[in-house]
Each structure stands twice: as C-alpha cells, then as structure tokens.
Structure 1
Amino acid sequence: MKSVVVIPARYGSSRYPGKPLVELLGKPMILWVAELAAQAVSPENVYVATEDESIAAVVSDAGYNAVMTSDSALTGTDRLAEAASQISADIFVNVQGDEPLVDPKDIVRIIDFKKAHMNKVINGFSVLSEGEDPANVNIPKVIATETGRMVYMSRNPLPGFKDATNKPGNYYKQVCIYAFTGDELAQFANYGRKSDLERCEDIEILRFLELGKDIQMVETQPGSLAVDVPEDVAPVEAALRARIG
C-alpha cells in the first residue's frame, strides 16, 4: 500500500498569520516539518497542501510537492481531503505544519497502525510534559479507553475528577499525526460543515465521531512542541537547538 504525508499549510492562520513561513533557526517552519516527514516516507511522497503561492514556491524550491487547495477549506483535514482528491495513494497521513519537532519514527508507527486497522482513523497522543499546563486551551487533551479507543477530546483538562484524591496521574495531549483512507477523508469533507462539538472545541477530529468512525489513539514519543502563537517560537527553537546538538 502506498502511504503519503500531506502537510496542510494555511497562510491565513487566525492566531498567527504566515505561520508556515516563520523562520526557526533560519529555516521556514514548513521545511522543518517536510524534512522530517521525508525521513518517514521519502521526499517524493511528501506533499504540502496550501492556498498560498508563496508557501507553494518555498516547498517546490526545496524539492517537495505542493498541492494548491481552496481558501475556503473549513479545517486542515478538509484541506487534506481536497489534496487527496489530486493524489493517488492508499493511506494519507496528516502531519501538521506547525509541528517541527515531530519524530519520523512516530509517523512510521502511525502508518503501520493504519495498515493493521484500515477501518479506523488513527491519531497520535502523548503524555503532557512537566512544563505543559493541562488548562492551556491551545493543547487538546485526550480521553481514551485502556485499549486506546478515543472517547473524547477537549481543550479543557480531561478527565475531570470529583475528589482531588482521584486526580489523574497524567494528562494526555493530541499529537497531530493522523492517518486516513481517501474514503474517510471524502466522508469528512462531505459532512459539509463543522459538527457542533467540533465547532465548540475547535478540534476537527471530533467530526469523525458524528460519522460513527472509531478513532484509535497511538502513543508517540513525548516532547513534541507545536507553534500555535508567536510566543511558542522561542521554546521550539530551544528544543531544536538541543536536538541538533
């Protein structure tokens, strides 16, 4: 089965316009992500889905595939669905363009899980690090069963507790690596709107719950940091320096 990575990269981010092109240690963030994705699936199987010509030019000049999508995509997954209609593949892996610390081994792990469970949507998750606040609304928190089936995802701290003695030992966050089939992406896009839960939480994977899809969470390496707002750049650059050595 052919697996490709598609990185949605929207220039017009509401919280951080131009975010895919923000420079981290002198390199546009989108290229950090593309290079890591290429380690998992090879460069010719890495695509960047964008509505912006400047992002497409940066990606193409670096030797990766750029797929132009509309400016009206509701979410990154809707943008992925648009791109998937132009790409021949069996498995489409969404790696978010603001995750420059993603581990290529985790991408491979998600792909392998998808191959073994083609009837399920696959998503990564990891334990929150000590420096991450469960109350931070920029971090989607995950509730999953003991077998990894996603129950719910929220920007509020989950799970809740009635008594402080039952406070969870760890909170888990979504890691933005997802695996889909083309049919699953088409079903998602054909829903035609954000679901009520998706709109409230601003977490797009919740739309799959309305479609009756099982979502299997796969634990990934902890330590991934995303760039959601300008204040995230400095800690991400520090983490990149530490990784590079």
Structure 2
Amino acid sequence: MPDLNPTVLGVIPARLASTRLPRKVLREIAGRPMLAWVYEAAKKCPQLNQVLIATDSEEVAALCRQNRWPCQLTSPDLPSGTDRLHAVAQLIHADIYVNIQGDEPLLRPEHLTSLLKPFSDRHIEVTTLKVACTPENIANPNAVKVVTTSEGRALYFSRATIPYDRDARPEETPRYWKHLGLYAYRKSALERFPTLPHRTLEHAERLEQLRFLENGIHIHVEPTPHDTIGVDTESDLHRVEQLLRA
C-alpha cells in the first residue's frame, strides 16, 4: 500500500556561482532578493512539510539566517541541483523530495501541488511539469520542450523543436509543450541518481533529467496552466521584475 501521508521536503538549491547571470539568487527583484520570492511561494504550498535552502555559499547562508529561512550548506563541488538535493537527503529524511529551482521567482504554490499530485500512484518515482509552449518558444533552444505518452510519461526532453512538424499541415498542427524545471522524487529514485551512468543524450542536450530516461527510469510529466520565467539573463530579470511589480 502507498504511504497515505508521506513526508515531503522542499529543497531550493541556491548556487551563487551561476555563469550566465552571476549571483542571481541574491539579485533584487522589486526590492527583494530573488531567493525571497521563491522561498515564500514554496512555503505557501500546503503539501510541503518543510522547505529549506541548500547552498554552497556562506553569503547565501547569512541571508537565510537573517530571514530565519532553514538552510543547509552543501559542497561547492556538486555538479547539479539534483546532486545538491541528494546531499540534503543524506542528512534529512523524507519520503518525497522536491527540487525547487532558486531562479524561478514566478513560482506559485499551485506548481508544487500539481507536481506532487501524481504520487498517489505508488508506481510513479519522479515527476516534473509542462506548460503549453508559446509560439515564440517553439524554436527557442533555451525553452526545453517535452513530448509524452497520453498517460503523461516522458518520452523525451529536448532543446530542439519536438515534435518536428514535417508536413506543416494547418489542420494537424502538433501541440508543443514547454518543460518547467521543477522535480519531485521518491527517496529511492533520488538515491539512485548519483549512481546512474552519464550517457550521450544528457551531455548533448545538457539536460540532467535525460539521465533518468537513458537509464530506464520513467518521469511523469504533469500539465500546469501557469508558466514561469527561469532567470538566466539580465533580460529575464527585467521581464520578471515588470511582472511582479504589476
């Protein structure tokens, strides 16, 4: 029988040494650090038993202490947010761990509720989200696309335009879905992640979720009506600030 009341830990990986937009989790948006927007949205999700920030930076940890946000220092050598989540899982027990990106200031509690809903099925090990792709993002390599089965199991994630509309017939235009980089894992699946071989597709696309697919672990993709803007550039920061001020 599935656990009817699993403990759920939300973890916000907050790496300070981001490459495209340095120190982005501490950048101010509408007068508040980006990390504050993410943390406070996550705290409003009723399905999360606890939310903490996992960082490799003493400066980020100091901000957390100042605001009384739970924080866990992790190694600066960890290569990805999922590895940072795994490190936290060695210290804090939960049945389900949620990877909440620290650069998603438009996060809503509804995102996390949708992400966790599929775990009522005991066979589901990993979940993520998709949203209808806007026309300008269909060919944008920074907007990751996903294709799934009719039941929601991920077939592939790509920076390329998938599916490819070979005949371009207006009456049969395929529906495109943008992947939102939020994940939830049962503890057993998260424990396996660092042990899985790194294969060609993950390296080619620079998408860590492909490691699960390449090693035969299914990912359930839940739809959401709420898009987000992952902040990677100054332009993204400006767009998000305009939206939050509005």
TM over 0.5: yes
For the structure 1 residues 118 and 145, does the alpha-carbon distance in structure 2 shift closer, same or farther, using more than 3 Å as the test? closer
> What is residue 122 of structure 1 aligned with on the other side?
127
| Partner Cα distance (2:90, 2:120) in 1 | 20
Identity %: 36
For residues 190-216 of structure 1, what are the alpha-carbon distances to aligned partners after superposition, in whole Å with 9 as ceiling and x for unaligned?
22x643211111111111012311111
How far residue 45 of structure 1 moved from its aligned partner, in angstroms, is 0.7
For the structure 1 residues 23 and 118, does the alpha-carbon distance in structure 2 shift closer, same or farther, using more than 3 Å as the test? farther
Partner SS state of residue 225, structure 2: coil
Contact 1:40–1:107 (8 Å) recurs in 2: yes
| Partner Cα distance (2:230, 2:173) in 1 | 24
> What is residue 100 of structure 2 aligned with on the other side?
95
State which of 158, 162, 171 in structure 1 corresponds to 2:176: 171
> What is residue 220 of structure 1 aligned with on the other side?
224
| Partner Cα distance (1:56, 1:43) in 2 | 21
For the structure 1 residues 26 and 118, does the alpha-carbon distance in structure 2 shift closer, same or farther, using more than 3 Å as the test? farther
> What is residue 104 of structure 1 aligned with on the other side?
109
Q: Which stretches in structure 2 are left out of the alignment for 5+ residues?
A: 1-5
Structure 1 window deviating more from structure 2 (208-217 vs 107-116): it is: 107-116
> What is residue 145 of structure 2 aligned with on the other side?
141
> What is residue 73 of structure 1 aligned with on the other side?
78
> What is residue 27 of structure 1 aligned with on the other side?
32
State which of 196, 207, 214 in structure 2 corresponds to 1:210: 214
| Partner Cα distance (2:113, 2:145) in 1 | 23
How far residue 93 of structure 1 moved from its aligned partner, in angstroms, is 0.7
Amino acid at match of 1:62: N
> What is residue 161 of structure 1 aligned with on the other side?
165
Contact 1:159–1:168 (8 Å) recurs in 2: no
Contact 1:21–1:28 (8 Å) recurs in 2: yes
> What is residue 85 of structure 1 aligned with on the other side?
90
TM-score (norm 2): 0.91
Amino acid at match of 1:68: L
> What is residue 235 of structure 1 aligned with on the other side?
239
For the structure 1 residues 42 and 109, does the alpha-carbon distance in structure 2 shift closer, same or farther, using more than 3 Å as the test? closer
For the structure 1 residues 201 and 154, does the alpha-carbon distance in structure 2 shift closer, same or farther, using more than 3 Å as the test? same
How far residue 43 of structure 1 moved from its aligned partner, in angstroms, is 8.6
Contact 1:141–1:155 (8 Å) recurs in 2: yes
| Partner Cα distance (2:183, 2:94) in 1 | 15
Amino acid at match of 2:7: K
How far residue 23 of structure 1 moved from its aligned partner, in angstroms, is 0.8
| Partner Cα distance (1:63, 1:173) in 2 | 34
Amino acid at match of 2:220: Q
How far residue 42 of structure 1 moved from its aligned partner, in angstroms, is 8.1
Amino acid at match of 2:67: A
Amino acid at match of 1:11: L
How far residue 19 of structure 1 moved from its aligned partner, in angstroms, is 1.1
Task: Name the Cα RMSD after superposition.
Answer: 1.9
| Partner Cα distance (2:189, 2:38) in 1 | 24
Amino acid at match of 2:89: A
How far residue 109 of structure 1 moved from its aligned partner, in angstroms, is 2.1
